[in-house]
């Protein structure tokens, strides 16, 4: 039974879905891993390292593969040429690319989306959104520290005392808490804000100060946040402004599932910030938490510099790949029975991740979006 590791073709994607350290486990489970030459290049993993771990290196890796693994979805032209029944496992954010789902349905591909792993405790070791958000949060704090023309830690020397940097982190989920922890380790004074009340305790446990804006909580389903009303968004912006004005660096990480990220920081708020302050927006890829942020670019707004993240986990391809590959290996093991690749459609995790099978769209929300375009919000391409 062959698992294929295809070269990533998406521009700027440096991560890889399998690392040599985990190849032995797949072989023991009864698989052959076929790797396309150069597949690990972005993460500095050589073909020789895969071969030494027991993988086969071949341009024809996809031929005869039962399962094809990747970080980004396999391009449409490759999917169309796969035999029906072939399975793919990668990120597949269907709300951003409904056509990719249609193509998989029509080619009778069994497609599993790593971004649809249910957030239940049994699936934590497979949760790639969490592992990659963790990498992103770390990177966000390091970028802020690198851009700021100041020290993060307080330094008391014979020549005088340098005060610590003041950092504000907005959104304290996986990425935000990692950004807080990293900024704290670097010695900054950190304040954090999230709309979920449970986050306050987590912020404090990282050694940071939880900001209380005196606004009602916005807890949603499954530990996620809910969308804000226009009125609440304005109040939140108004009450956050003095915290931002006192900050040297701001890191934004806020998201709401299946929605465009909320605008937390407006141009007017940035105008009030100190000269040469820095904002790192980790949500820039999907629209951003900062007004007018550009992914992959540093923009000057007022006297601040705003860094827009673009595929941020890919900027640390080594650890991001190591963690993602472990998530993938754990999914494969869940889908292996009696030495065969045999995903059980009745398993909650398998069912949750499955987008298409046997020529059908098996994920309810994706099926609704594709078969009933009246439900698509034209301005965002998201479910209403
Ligand atoms: P996310 O990426 O969807 O959002 C990031 C953070 O932004 C969240 O904490 C959210 O509350 C916050 N946010 C949203 N709107 C905001 C606003 N207007 N202002 C300020 N903050 C705002 O979330 P995530 O990081 O993936 O995780 C969210 C929750 O899910 C956390 O409680 C986390 O512990 C939990 N979680 C559970 C599991 C599991 O059970 N397996 C796995 C991962 C995360």
327 lines ligand 1 (CB under 6 A): no
b (16+ CB within 10 A) / e for 104-142:
bbebbbbbbbbebbeeeeebebbbbbbbbbbbbbbbbbb
199 lines ligand 1 (CB under 6 A): yes
Cα-to-centroid distance, 172 and ligand 1 (Å): 7
Q: Are 137 and 360 in contact (CB under 8 A)?
A: no
Q: Are 93 and 353 in contact (CB under 8 A)?
A: no
Per-residue pLDDT at 376: 38
25 lines ligand 1 (CB under 6 A): no
Q: pTM higher than 0.85, yes or no?
A: yes
Cα-to-centroid distance, 235 and ligand 1 (Å): 21
Cα-to-centroid distance, 39 and ligand 1 (Å): 32
* Pocket-testing residue among 123, 169, 178, 223, ligand 1, by greatest number of atoms within 8 A of Cβ: 223
Per-residue pLDDT at 378: 41
Per-residue pLDDT at 382: 43
Structure tokens at 225: 């946040």
* pLDDT tens per residue across span 265-309: 999 999 999 999 999 999 999 999 999 999 999 999 999 999 999
Q: Please list the ranges in the chain whose pLDDT falls under 50.
A: 372-384
Cα-to-centroid distance, 344 and ligand 1 (Å): 29
* Pocket-testing residue among 119, 130, 174, 353, ligand 1, by greatest number of atoms within 8 A of Cβ: 174
- Atom 35 in ligand 1: which residue has the minimum CA distance? 223
151 lines ligand 1 (CB under 6 A): no
Cα-to-centroid distance, 173 and ligand 1 (Å): 4
95 lines ligand 1 (CB under 6 A): no
349 lines ligand 1 (CB under 6 A): no
CA gap 9, 112 in Å, rounded = 19
- Give the ligand 1 atom nearest the CA of 256: 3
223 lines ligand 1 (CB under 6 A): yes
119 lines ligand 1 (CB under 6 A): yes
HEC per residue, the chain? CEEEECCCCCCCCCCCCCCHHHHHHHHHCCCEEEECCCCCHHHCCCHHHHHHCCCEECCCCCCCEEEEECCCCCCHHHHHCCCCCCEEEECCCHHHCHHHHHHHHHCCCEEEEHHHCCCCHHHHHHCHHHHHHHHHHHHHHHHHHHHCCCCCCCEEECCEEECCCEEEEECCCHHHHHHHHHHHHCCCEEEEECCCCHHHHHHHHCCCEECCCCCCCCECHHHCECCCCHHHHHHHHHHHHHHHHCCCEEEECCCCCCCCCCCCECHHHHHCCCCCCEEEECCHHHCCCECCCCCCCEEEECCEEEEECCCHHHHCHHHHHHHHHHHHHHHHHHCEECCEECCCCCCHHHHHHEEEECCEECCHHHHHHHHCHHHEECCCCEEC
């Amino acid at each position: 039974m062959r698992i294929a590791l295809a070269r990533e073709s998406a521009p700027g994607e440096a991560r890889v879905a399998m690392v040599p350290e985990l190849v032995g486990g797949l072989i023991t489970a009864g698989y052959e891993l076929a790797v396309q030459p150069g597949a690990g290049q972005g993460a500095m993993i050589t073909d020789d390292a895969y071969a030494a771990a027991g993988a086969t290196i071949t341009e024809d890796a996809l031929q005869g593969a039962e399962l094809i693994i990747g970080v980004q979805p396999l391009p449409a032209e490759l999917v169309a040429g796969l035999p029906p029944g072939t399975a793919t496992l990668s990120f597949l954010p269907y709300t951003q690319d409904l056509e990719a789902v249609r193509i998989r349905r029509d080619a009778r591909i069994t497609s599993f989306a790593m971004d649809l792993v249910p957030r239940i405790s049994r699936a934590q070791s497979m949760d790639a959104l969490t592992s990659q958000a963790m990498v992103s949060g770390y990177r966000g704090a390091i970028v802020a520290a690198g851009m700021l023309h100041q020290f993060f830690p307080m330094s008391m020397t014979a020549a005088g005392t340098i005060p610590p940097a003041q950092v504000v982190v907005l959104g304290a989920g996986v990425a935000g808490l990692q950004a807080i922890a990293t900024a704290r380790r670097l010695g900054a004074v950190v304040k954090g804000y999230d709309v979920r009340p449970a986050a306050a305790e987590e912020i404090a446990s990282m050694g940071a100060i939880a900001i209380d804006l005196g606004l009602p909580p916005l807890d949603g389903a499954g530990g996620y946040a809910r969308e804000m009303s226009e009125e609440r968004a304005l109040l939140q912006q108004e009450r956050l402004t003095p915290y931002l004005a006192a900050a040297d660096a701001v890191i934004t990480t806020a998201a709401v599932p299946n929605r465009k990220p909320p605008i937390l920081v407006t141009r007017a708020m940035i105008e009030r910030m100190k000269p040469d302050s820095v904002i790192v927006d980790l949500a820039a890829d999907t629209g951003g938490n900062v007004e007018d942020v550009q992914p992959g670019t540093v923009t000057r707004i007022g006297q601040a510099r705003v860094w827009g993240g673009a595929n941020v986990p890919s900027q640390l391809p080594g650890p991001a790949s190591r963690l993602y590959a472990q998530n993938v290996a754990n999914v494969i093991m869940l889908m292996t029975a009696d030495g065969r690749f045999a995903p059980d459609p009745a398993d909650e995790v398998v069912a949750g991740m499955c987008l298409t099978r046997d020529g059908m769209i098996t994920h309810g929300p994706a099926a609704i979006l594709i078969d009933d375009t009246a439900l698509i919000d034209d301005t965002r391409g998201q479910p209403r």
